[in-house]
């Protein structure tokens, strides 16, 4: 392949071939640089998001409430019955955060590898503990697409990293 490209440029003549070959190499360099910069920005933005949320008081509050119910003997399902309670709304808010993370990763806005380094096991285990709650939310709302990106990403990681549930 490379030999064919070089032969093409040589066939154009010395100066024209050299100019076009230089332009070709510059284009490749620009493309590689652009891709590297995009990866760097995605990684940096993921770290910024993780840092900001780890200090955000609202996030900490809903995360702790989610963890309290998740680790409860009956799990999150105790919050399914009354959709007007603050606990229910906080759990939905926390799961929405996971959904946004999955959407950001799926669309290349956030770095999957960086997020995995921080939260791989917790993300998957939270999905595993949330399944029944999410199923009930889907039934109550008559919408099977609720938290579908969270589910897809968690299942992908669960399978690729062989993370089993504690149950």
Q: Can you tell me the mean pLDDT for 64-90?
A: 86
Closest CA to 153 of 117, 102, 95: 102
Least confident of 6-20, 35-49, 54-68, 138-152: 6-20
Question: Of residues 38 and 7, which shows the higher confidence score?
Answer: 38
Query: What pLDDT, on a 0 to 100 scale, did the predictor assign at position 22?
Result: 78
User: Quick one: three-class SS letters along the chain?
Assistant: CHHHHHHHHHHCCHHHHHHHHHHHHHHHHHHHHHHHHHHHHHHHHHHHHHHHHHHCHHHHHHHHHHHHHHCCCCHHHHHCCCCCCHHHHHHHHHHHHHHHHHHHHHCCCCCHHHHHHHHHHHHHHHHHHHHHHHHHHHHHHCCCCCCHHHHHHHHHHHHHCCCCCCC
pLDDT at 37 over 60: yes
- Residue-wise pLDDT for 119-149, tens only, equals 999 999 999 999 999 999 999 999 999 999 9
Tell me: pLDDT of 167 over 60: no
Half-sphere exposure of 11 (CA within 13 A, CB side): 6
Query: Higher-confidence residue: 110 or 76?
Result: 110
* Model confidence band, residue 2 (pLDDT cutoffs 50, 70, 90): low
Instruction: Note the pLDDT of residue 76.
Output: 86
pLDDT at 5 over 70: no
What pLDDT score was predicted for residue 82? 80
State the pLDDT at residue 12.
60
User: Mean of the pLDDT values across residues 79-83?
Assistant: 77
What is the residue extent of each domain of the chain? Answer: 1-41, 56-160
What was the pLDDT predicted at 84? 85
Q: Give the residue among 149, 164, 135, 140 at the shortest CA–CA distance from 76.
A: 135
The phi and psi torsions of 41 (rounded to 5 degrees) equal -65, -45
pLDDT of 161 above 90: no
65 vs 31, more confident? 65
């Amino acid at each position: 392949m490379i030999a064919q490209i070089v032969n093409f440029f040589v066939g154009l003549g010395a100066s024209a071939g050299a100019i076009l070959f230089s332009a070709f190499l510059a284009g490749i360099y620009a493309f590689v640089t652009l891709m590297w910069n995009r990866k760097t920005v995605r990684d940096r933005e993921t770290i910024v998001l993780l840092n900001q949320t780890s200090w955000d008081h609202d996030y900490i509050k809903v995360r702790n409430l989610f963890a309290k119910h998740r680790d409860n003997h009956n799990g999150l399902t105790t919050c399914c019955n009354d959709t007007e309670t603050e606990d229910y709304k906080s759990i939905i808010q926390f799961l929405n955060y996971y959904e946004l993370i999955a959407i950001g990763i799926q669309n290349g806005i956030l770095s999957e590898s960086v997020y995995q380094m921080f939260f791989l096991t917790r993300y998957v285990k939270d999905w595993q503990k949330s399944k029944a709650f999410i199923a009930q939310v889907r039934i109550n709302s008559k919408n099977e697409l609720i938290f579908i990106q969270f589910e897809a990403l968690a299942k992908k990681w669960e399978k690729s990293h062989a993370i089993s549930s504690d149950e």
